[in-house]
Amino acid sequence: MNQQNKPQQQKINVDLSQAESMKCMECDSEQFKMEYLIKKVSALLSPTGDEMVIPMQVFSCSKCGIIPEDFLPSN
């Protein structure tokens, strides 16, 4: 029953009651949902030399739908 074959998963002890909930800057909602941006990588930029379509996970406010800039991967 004690399966420890996931070396990359470290148990992180965080007291979430001390953690701050992120709020939507538009509507103050604390609820977000996961969505995907789809990035199209041209053949010139792709490591394989072929055009690629890469899904990128982002969070959007479940109330007003905006994607907070904090959640956007910087590039």
Least distance to Zn ion, CB of residue 30, Å: 10
Q: Using CB under 5 A, which of the segments 11-19, 29-37, 40-48, 52-60 binds Zn ion?
A: 29-37
CB nearer to Zn ion: pick between 20 and 50:
20
How many CB atoms are located within 10 Å of the residue 24 CB? Answer: 20
> 66: closest CA among 24, 31, 28?
24
- Interface with Zn ion (CB under 5 A), residue from 37, 45, 64, 72: 64
Nearest to 40 by CA among 50, 48, 51: 51
Q: Of the listed pieces 10-18, 33-41, 46-54, 62-70, which binds Zn ion according to CB under 5 A?
A: 62-70
Contact 50, 44 (CB under 8 A): no
